[in-house]
Amino acid sequence: MGEDTFRTLAGRGRASFEVRGSEFVGHAAPAADREAAEAFVAEIRAEYDDATHNVPAYRVRATEGDMLREYGDDDGEPSGSAGKPALNVLQQEGVENVVAVVTRYYGGTNLGVGGLARAYSSGVKDAIEDAGIVEERPHERFAVTVEYDDSGTVRGILESEDAEFEAEYAERVAFAVRVPKVEAEDLRDRIRSATSGRAEIGDGA
């Protein structure tokens, strides 16, 4: 794996199993940033609002240079028995921009800290396996604003580079662009050159 790639999930994953009467459901998903991770946690908590516990963990980095944010919460389980083991799996798998939630329906038998740690670890691990791990390149966002006369040229360049973009047509045309980080500077140079420097290029939202 090169320095310009990182491991993340191919999509959403789900796994369920039972331990001594308690039902566990593991959920995992890719998350571009902390807001996306928190939104996934909220979605699972709403869907499984009748569960005894919904234990979240995530590792997210909005951009390549951004500090890795790691989070795990026991959600009412004994301290250290749930959130930390769940986060540990994400760390051991070396995945980033990933969120996991393990749902538990209490079955009447206490599992002890060790038993809980194993169950919550398994919930994350199984959900990750279900989702599948892929290598992803860090992406960067930037904005390009041009007059209408230059908009066709810019759109043509973005399409030829297979860049992800959205165009907004108002008094001028604004392009919100997302490309692999290693390609971003060359793309900006091409746009500047093709528009003779008329394109305004700024940070993406």
> What integer pLDDT is reported at residue 141 of this predicted model?
87
Q: Is the pLDDT of residue 165 over 90?
A: yes
Does the pTM exceed 0.75?
Answer: no
- Mean residue pLDDT of the chain comes to 93
Instruction: Indicate the domain borders of the chain.
Output: 6-136, 139-203
Tell me, which fold does domain 6-136 have in CATH? Answer: Ribosomal Protein S5; domain 2 (3.30.230)
Q: Are 3 and 83 in contact (CB under 8 A)?
A: no
49-58 b/e (C-beta count within 10 Å ≥ 16 → b): eebebbbbbb
> What integer pLDDT is reported at residue 134 of this predicted model?
92
Residue 132, Ramachandran bin (φ over 0: left; ψ between -120 and 50: alpha; else beta)? left
Q: Is the pLDDT of residue 4 over 90?
A: no
One-letter amino acid at 140 equals E
pLDDT digits (tens, 9 = 90+) for 61-101: 866 567 899 999 999 999 999 999 999 999 999 999 999 99
Tell me, which fold does domain 139-203 have in CATH? Answer: Alpha-Beta Plaits (3.30.70)
Q: Within 13 Å and on the Cβ side, how many CA atoms surround 147? A: 5
